[in-house]
Chain A
Amino acid sequence: MQRRPLQKGTGELRIRIRRWWQRHQRRLIPYLFITPNMIVFAAFMFIPILYAFYISFHDWSLIGTSQFIGLGNYFNMMQDDLFWQVLINTAIYTLGTVPTSMILGLGVAILLNRWIPARGILRSIFFMPVVISGVAVALVASWIFNDHYGIINNTLRQMGSDPIPWLSSPTWAMPSLIIATLWTRIGFCMVIYLAGLQSIPSSYYDAAQVDGASSWKQFRYITWPLLGPTTFFLLIINVIYSFHVFDLIYVMTGGGPGFSTTVIVQYIYQAAFQTGQMGYAAAMGVVLYFIILAFTAIQWRISRQGESIE
């Protein structure tokens, strides 16, 4: 008996909500649909990025004591030789991986775009390393490059030449990392270039053949210009991936020997979770954020210019 009025009340409320909803549904639905994603992005990315700015002005230790020090972390960074070294390492790694993987990927894509025996299997083999985790890549590369028992050094010794201290010398550690990266990156570039090649109408090549153009000329004047957007896209995405690389280096060299293969993301991680300088780590994160922003702006400008020329 007591519940009746209450039910009536909620019923009315429900009707009112429904009417309101029907009136505003069309406008609200899109926001409702993106809400779950936006909550996650806000809570675990946008707020953390803002929070990182805040932390970067503090001397902030792992156990949670903090003290405002203004731009102190940023001044320390400018004077930290290691910070500059890891920036240079990041640049070397990026320059070593991006153009090479794109050139090789393009070469493989062109060869596997025409009909040749076992084309499907060959494409699969080039592409397969893309799905393997960075940790697994690092482990098998560590084994192949192993100074004492690795197959490369065993082969070198058998041929009578000196073994190469791949992972134990500051000179060779970076090339080893770059080679391991290429293993996973070539297939990636190949797949995207193949998609680009397949979008070029074959009639262009037919016409060029009628005119007697050599394969090089066909590549130079048809393939390469028409792949322009693909190349640009790959350039951006490969640079981003090279800036992001963490697991491969962490597992394969741990950033060493010394700091010879430490890249910026690695250094931030070490500062935050190994030496407990969270404020300093956050400040470097902020600087990295602006470096990437600047890069993107430059690439954006160049691409806009390219469009207006074409």
Chain B
Amino acid sequence: MSEKVMLMLKVSYNRQMSQKIKNAVIWVSVVVAALVMFFPIYWMFVTAVRPREEIFAPEVQLWPSEFVWSNFVEAWNTLPFTQWYINSFAIALIAVVITVFINLLAGYTFAKYDFPGRNVIFLLLLSTLMIPIQVYIVPEYLIVAQLGWVNTYWGVIFPRAAEAFGIFLVRQFMMSIPDELIEAARIDGASEFTIFRKVVLPLSGPVIAVLIIFTFMWRWNDFAWPIVVLQDQEAYTVPLGLNLMQGAYYTEWTYLMAMTLVSILPMLLIFIFFQRYFVQGIARTGLK
């Protein structure tokens, strides 16, 4: 009897041990994979801060021999980065205000009103997600040029102000707001816009946060459309500037990596502080 118990204990002990080893192996391989994923950002940093001649060393050095912080200042001064950052921030911030407002309004409408043509219009909007901008980039450019918006902030902001992804996201969220609340406000005599402003918006904090963050990211990272509209170097945004820097006759990798790192810093900071909003936004709609 006791022998049998002993045997059972032994088997379960062995099983536990092998489970533990298995878990450890899994954990280590995940960590190794994570290190590989993190490496490019680390390597940007190392390349940016090490002495410039060190990047030509034939042997691999994972750690810089010394930290040359002045690389960042020198890199910044090689091209009009100050102007480019002003442009990028201005475009992203103005776009956030416009897009968030009109997308909230439209998303709310698709979620809470029943009107003739609603489903057709909504499907039409969603179907635009599949179409790459290059399909209609030629006429779009001709229209923007006709409006005199080449090389202006408006030329970048307005054509991208309505984001189908944003409308979809807001609609998904606002469907969960109880109709009774809206109906009660309506009976109290509130106007439709007041209902939106005083009843719906205060309940929509999380989706507004997601929308702000994503709109900022889309505009900050945008390339395909700005490179068509912004043709003068003065008008460039940061990604266009980086592309110009790389396209120069001789690529100065130290400076290029320094400026690339600086360009992703705003997004990395937003990501670190608001990660859960990114996760929510992506998990809910698949937007990127």
Contact = CB atoms under 8 A, between A and B. Distances in A.
Nearest to A143: B253
Contacts of B115: 27, 30-31
B223 A247 contact: yes
A13 interface: no
Contacts of A108: 30, 33
Contacts of B38: 125, 128
A264 B140 CA distance: 18
Output the residue of B121, B134, B283 with the most chain A CB within 10 A. B134
Nearest to A234: B286
B275 interface: yes
B109 A34 contact: yes
B182 interface: no
A123 to B, nearest CB: 9
Interface string A1-39: 000000000000000000000000101011101101110
Interface string A97-136: 0000000000010011000111000101111111111111
B152 interface: no
B5 interface: no
Contacts of B288: 130, 188, 241
Interface in A39-61: 40-41, 43-45, 47-49, 51-52, 55, 60
Contact of A133 (B138, B162, B192, B263): B263
Given A33-B109, A243-B132, A247-B239, A132 B264 contact: yes
B70 interface: no
Contact of B220 (A38, A133, A141): A133
Contact of A237 (B103, B132, B286): B286
Contact of B105 (A34, A116, A139): A34
Interface stretch (B7-15, B53-61, B78-86, B173-181): B53-61
Interface residues of B, number: 87
A131 B162 contact: no
A55 to B, nearest CB: 6
Interface stretch (A170-178, A190-198, A217-225): A190-198
B30 A149 contact: no
B138 A272 contact: yes
A48 B264 CA distance: 32
**Majority SS of interface residues in chain A?**
helix
Contact of A285 (B47, B135, B242): B135
A195 B263 CA distance: 30
A273 interface: yes
B159 interface: yes
Given A155-B60, A237-B286, A265 B132 contact: yes
A250 interface: yes
B224 interface: yes
A132 B109 contact: no
Contacts of A289: 131, 135
B17 to A, nearest CB: 17
A43 to B, nearest CB: 7
Given A124-B275, A131-B268, A154-B59, A49 B217 contact: no
A130 B282 CA distance: 10
Contact of B223 (A37, A134, A282): A134
B260 A136 contact: yes
A52 B140 CA distance: 9
Interface string B222-264: 0110011000000000010011001000000100110010011
B79 to A, nearest CB: 14
Contacts of B143: 43-44, 47-48, 51
B253 A37 contact: no
Nearest to B166: A37
B26 A111 contact: yes
Nearest to A241: B288
A155 B43 CA distance: 14
B228 A116 contact: no
B153 interface: no
Given A135-B243, A154-B60, A285-B138, A144 B43 contact: yes
A25 B196 CA distance: 15
Nearest to B275: A124
Given A30-B109, A142-B246, A246-B224, A41 B26 contact: no
A203 interface: no
A43 B235 CA distance: 23
Contacts of B203: none
A136 B263 contact: yes
Contacts of A273: 228
Interface string B134-148: 111111111110000
Given A31-B115, A36-B105, 19 more contacts: A25-B192, A33-B105, A40-B102, A41-B164, A49-B131, A49-B135, A52-B139, A116-B27, A126-B37, A128-B41, A130-B288, A131-B270, A134-B221, A140-B257, A144-B40, A192-B286, A269-B134, A281-B138, A285-B138
The 3 A-B residue pairs whose C-beta atoms are closest, nearest first, are A133-B221, A51-B139, A195-B283
Interface of B: 23, 26-27, 30-31, 33-34, 37-38, 40-41, 43-44, 47, 55-56, 58-60, 102-103, 105-106, 108-110, 113, 115, 118, 121, 125, 127-144, 158-162, 164, 167, 192, 196, 217, 220-221, 223-224, 227-228, 239, 242-243, 246, 253, 256-257, 260, 263-264, 267-268, 270-272, 275, 278-279, 282-283, 286, 288
